[in-house]
Amino acid sequence: MLGELTDRDRAILAIETAWPRHSGTKEELIRAQLGMSAARYYQLLGRLIESEAALEYDPLLVGRLRRLRDARASRRRARTPGFAG
Protein backbone atom coordinates (compact mmCIF):
# COMPACT_ATOMS: atom_id res chain seq x y z
CA MET A 1 0.00 0.00 0.00
CA LEU A 2 2.40 2.63 -1.21
CA GLY A 3 -0.33 5.28 -1.06
CA GLU A 4 0.04 5.38 2.71
CA LEU A 5 3.44 7.09 2.54
CA THR A 6 3.45 10.86 2.52
CA ASP A 7 5.97 12.99 0.69
CA ARG A 8 7.61 13.63 4.07
CA ASP A 9 7.81 9.87 4.72
CA ARG A 10 9.53 9.32 1.38
CA ALA A 11 11.90 12.24 2.10
CA ILE A 12 12.87 10.70 5.44
CA LEU A 13 13.59 7.36 3.78
CA ALA A 14 15.58 9.15 1.05
CA ILE A 15 17.77 10.82 3.68
CA GLU A 16 18.45 7.45 5.29
CA THR A 17 19.31 5.97 1.90
CA ALA A 18 21.60 8.84 0.86
CA TRP A 19 23.19 9.65 4.20
CA PRO A 20 26.50 7.77 3.76
CA ARG A 21 27.11 9.69 0.54
CA HIS A 22 26.22 13.14 1.91
CA SER A 23 28.85 15.54 3.18
CA GLY A 24 28.14 17.61 6.27
CA THR A 25 26.24 16.63 9.36
CA LYS A 26 23.05 14.67 9.21
CA GLU A 27 21.37 17.20 11.48
CA GLU A 28 22.12 19.99 8.99
CA LEU A 29 20.66 17.91 6.17
CA ILE A 30 17.52 17.14 8.18
CA ARG A 31 16.99 20.79 9.03
CA ALA A 32 17.68 21.99 5.47
CA GLN A 33 15.56 19.43 3.65
CA LEU A 34 12.74 18.82 6.10
CA GLY A 35 12.73 21.89 8.34
CA MET A 36 12.58 19.88 11.56
CA SER A 37 14.82 19.04 14.47
CA ALA A 38 16.84 15.86 14.53
CA ALA A 39 14.86 14.68 17.56
CA ARG A 40 11.57 15.01 15.66
CA TYR A 41 13.12 13.32 12.62
CA TYR A 42 14.16 10.29 14.65
CA GLN A 43 10.73 10.07 16.28
CA LEU A 44 9.11 10.00 12.85
CA LEU A 45 11.70 7.58 11.47
CA GLY A 46 11.08 5.17 14.35
CA ARG A 47 7.36 5.13 13.61
CA LEU A 48 7.93 4.99 9.87
CA ILE A 49 10.08 1.87 9.91
CA GLU A 50 7.31 0.04 11.74
CA SER A 51 4.87 0.64 8.90
CA GLU A 52 4.11 -1.95 6.25
CA ALA A 53 3.95 0.85 3.67
CA ALA A 54 7.59 1.77 4.33
CA LEU A 55 8.60 -1.88 4.21
CA GLU A 56 6.89 -2.27 0.83
CA TYR A 57 8.43 0.97 -0.44
CA ASP A 58 12.04 0.08 0.44
CA PRO A 59 12.36 -3.37 2.03
CA LEU A 60 16.17 -3.42 2.14
CA LEU A 61 16.47 -0.04 3.86
CA VAL A 62 13.65 -0.66 6.32
CA GLY A 63 14.98 -4.13 7.13
CA ARG A 64 18.45 -2.69 7.78
CA LEU A 65 17.08 0.11 9.98
CA ARG A 66 14.98 -2.39 11.96
CA ARG A 67 18.03 -4.62 12.50
CA LEU A 68 20.11 -1.66 13.68
CA ARG A 69 17.34 -0.57 16.07
CA ASP A 70 16.97 -4.09 17.44
CA ALA A 71 20.73 -4.49 17.91
CA ARG A 72 20.90 -1.20 19.86
CA ALA A 73 17.98 -2.29 22.04
CA SER A 74 19.70 -5.62 22.74
CA ARG A 75 22.90 -3.85 23.77
CA ARG A 76 20.95 -1.56 26.11
CA ARG A 77 19.16 -4.52 27.69
CA ALA A 78 22.46 -6.35 28.15
CA ARG A 79 23.83 -3.36 30.09
CA THR A 80 20.76 -3.17 32.34
CA PRO A 81 21.52 -4.52 35.82
CA GLY A 82 19.37 -7.50 36.68
CA PHE A 83 18.44 -8.27 33.06
CA ALA A 84 18.74 -12.00 32.41
CA GLY A 85 17.83 -12.45 28.83
Of the listed ranges 19-23, 71-75, 77-81, the least confidently predicted one is 19-23
Q: What 8-state DSSP symbol labels residue 25?
A: -
Helices (H), 1-85: 7-18, 26-34, 38-48, 52-57, 59-79
pLDDT in tens, 47-58: 999 999 999 999
Q: What is the pTM of this model?
A: 0.80
Structural domains in the chain (count): 1
Instruction: Tell whether 85 is covered by a domain.
Output: no
- Residue ranges making up the domain that contains 29: 2-78
Residue 83 belongs to some domain of the structure: no
5-26 pLDDT per residue, tens: 999 999 999 999 987 666 678 8
Query: Which amino acid, one-letter code, is at 6?
Result: T
